[in-house]
Amino acid sequence: MTDVAVTFTKERHIKYFLRCLKTFLPSLYTSNDSNRMLLAFFTVAGLDLLGVLQSKTTLEERQGYIEWIYHCQVPTGGFRAFTGTDFGAENRTPENEAWDPANVPSTFFALELLLILGDDLSRVKRIECLQWLPQMQRSNGSFGEVLGPGGKIEGGGDLRFCCFAAGTRYILRGNGGKDVDDIKDINVDKLAAFVQACQAYDGGMGEAPFCEAHSGHTYCAMGALSFLNRMAKNQQPPSVLSPGAREFESLVCWLVSRQTAELGETEEDSDDESSPEADEVQRLPKAAEELGSNEDPDNLPVIRPPTGASLRYAGFNGRCNKYADTCYSFWNLATLDMMDRLDLVDATRNRQYLLGKTQHIIGGFGKGAGEPPDLLHSYFGMVALAFQGEEGLSSVDPALCISHRAVQHLQSLPWWTEGA
Ligand SMILES: [Zn+2]
């Protein structure tokens, strides 16, 4: 079975991200207004990945984006996710500041955005932010999202917040230095123990201990441990980052098993109707739906083995028995990249899936076959392709999820070059 020719339509993706940056987003994004920092991240990082951020935006525009990000910094350290809660520094008091809190994920994305835009982070309240982080850690080692009234840790508790807290610490502590050595650090051992306790019986990570394994949380778990490990000089990496260890190998097995040719397509989405082989495959899920527990086993439909046509496109799912979804090509491949096991998946079939099924005709990527593009799936679709060396895309650091170009800029900052 020969592959159907697919191309990465770079120019259309550039237009898609520029439209998202410079015109209004579709109204469906309205409910995401409070996540504006994240939307900004996907947009600007997308153009950086395509290598056109400098050429397609002016210096003034980029400076404007930087000013907006700093406008989202709260006076006590950390960043808010959007400007909607900002009631002005002159009205802010210790009693009311909990209603305009810094937010753990937004702080991470704000710092990354500043790095991508070439800012030197000199206006970041670095000390204040590093003092705020330990206040966000719960006694079980996990992190919340914001500090509520009375300093109560609110929101989160799952691996996403562990990852963003560890990532923020990584960016702002770097190689340490006199100015931060005296600042109380987060409890690294407790965080690492919490993350490792989230590994499920099948090797993947759940959102909390004893939960079902999920690729998104698995990525966050390994991201958090990678950030901690990169900063832990001369220390043994945790077993889940140690090749040969049961924890490591079972996770690799689980991640690789997420690749699937079950795309969840409707008949109209599929361009393979003409092939009787593919037709047979399309009918299988329906046949499976009709199965009842009282059926005579002799009357059950024959489930045929996969064919060349049915395996032509193979994306990734995030949990057992789910359909492929563009973003899971990212969550799984990024984790495998952190574990240096990217070569174990079928890169060709994944590329066929992303470029042949979820890449949209107007640019960007949708969640599944035939779906409209959105910022999250568009960025993650491109990053997944970048891991596989797609021409026209910059290489990406899997834990920071930004181009190596932006990572180099981070590593040129004073607390990275002057530290121990
Ligand atoms: Zn998705």
Residues 342-395 have pLDDT tens digits of 999 999 999 999 999 999 999 999 999 999 999 999 999 999 999 999 999 999
Residue (of 14, 103, 4) closest to 363 by Cα position: 14
Residue (of 197, 97, 177, 94) closest to 418 by Cα position: 177
Q: How remote is the CA of residue 368 from the centroid of ligand 1, in Å?
A: 8
pLDDT of residue 143: 98
Q: How remote is the CA of residue 316 from the centroid of ligand 1, in Å?
A: 10
Identify the band that residue 419 occupies on the pLDDT scale cut at 50, 70 and 90.
Answer: low
Strand 396-397 relative to strand 315-316: parallel, antiparallel, unpaired? unpaired
In angstroms, the Cα distances linking 342 to 97, 100, 202, 379, 384 are 45, 41, 20, 19, 11
Q: How remote is the CA of residue 149 from the centroid of ligand 1, in Å?
A: 34
pLDDT of residue 303: 76
The SS3 of residue 243 is coil
**Mean per-residue pLDDT of the chain:** 92
Is a pLDDT exceeding 60 seen at residue 151? yes
Q: How remote is the CA of residue 417 from the centroid of ligand 1, in Å?
A: 37
Is a pLDDT exceeding 70 seen at residue 76? yes
Q: How remote is the CA of residue 65 from the centroid of ligand 1, in Å?
A: 27
Q: How remote is the CA of residue 367 from the centroid of ligand 1, in Å?
A: 5
The SS3 of residue 146 is strand
Is a pLDDT exceeding 70 seen at residue 134? yes
Query: 3 versus 370: which is more confidently predicted?
Result: 370
Q: How remote is the CA of residue 114 from the centroid of ligand 1, in Å?
A: 26
pLDDT of residue 308: 82
pLDDT of residue 305: 83
* pLDDT tens figures, 152-205: 999 988 999 999 999 999 999 998 877 888 999 999 999 999 999 999 999 999
Q: How remote is the CA of residue 381 from the centroid of ligand 1, in Å?
A: 10
Q: How remote is the CA of residue 215 from the centroid of ligand 1, in Å?
A: 11
Is a pLDDT exceeding 70 seen at residue 291? no
Q: How remote is the CA of residue 377 from the centroid of ligand 1, in Å?
A: 6
pLDDT above 90 covers a percentage of the chain that reads 83
pLDDT of residue 233: 82
Identify the band that residue 280 occupies on the pLDDT scale cut at 50, 70 and 90.
Answer: very low
pLDDT of residue 275: 47
Q: How remote is the CA of residue 265 from the centroid of ligand 1, in Å?
A: 15
Instruction: Answer yes or no: are the C-beta atoms of 155 and 204 closer than 8 Å.
Output: no
Q: How remote is the CA of residue 127 from the centroid of ligand 1, in Å?
A: 36
Query: 171 versus 3: which is more confidently predicted?
Result: 171
Q: How remote is the CA of residue 318 from the centroid of ligand 1, in Å?
A: 9
- Both structure tokens of 17: 């991200």
Return the ∠ at Cα 326 (arms to 404 and 208), rounded to 5°: 85
Q: How remote is the CA of residue 216 from the centroid of ligand 1, in Å?
A: 9
- Both structure tokens of 259: 């690749």
Angle between helices 215-231 and 246-256 (to 10 degrees): 140
Q: How remote is the CA of residue 139 from the centroid of ligand 1, in Å?
A: 32
The pTM assigned to this predicted structure is 0.92
Q: How remote is the CA of residue 140 from the centroid of ligand 1, in Å?
A: 29
Question: How far apart, in whole angstroms, are the C-alpha atoms of residue 138 and residue 131?
Answer: 15
Q: How remote is the CA of residue 328 from the centroid of ligand 1, in Å?
A: 6
Q: How remote is the CA of residue 325 from the centroid of ligand 1, in Å?
A: 5
Question: How far apart, in whole angstroms, are the C-alpha atoms of residue 248 and residue 209?
Answer: 17
Q: How remote is the CA of residue 420 from the centroid of ligand 1, in Å?
A: 40
* pLDDT tens figures, 223-251: 999 999 999 988 899 999 999 999 999 99
Q: How remote is the CA of residue 327 from the centroid of ligand 1, in Å?
A: 4
pLDDT of residue 267: 55
Q: How remote is the CA of residue 236 from the centroid of ligand 1, in Å?
A: 34
Q: How remote is the CA of residue 299 from the centroid of ligand 1, in Å?
A: 37
Q: How remote is the CA of residue 163 from the centroid of ligand 1, in Å?
A: 19
What are phi and psi for residue 164, nearest 5 degrees? -70, -35
Identify the band that residue 295 occupies on the pLDDT scale cut at 50, 70 and 90.
Answer: low
Query: Among the residues of 84-187, which ranges form H helices?
Result: 104-116, 126-132, 159-173, 178-181
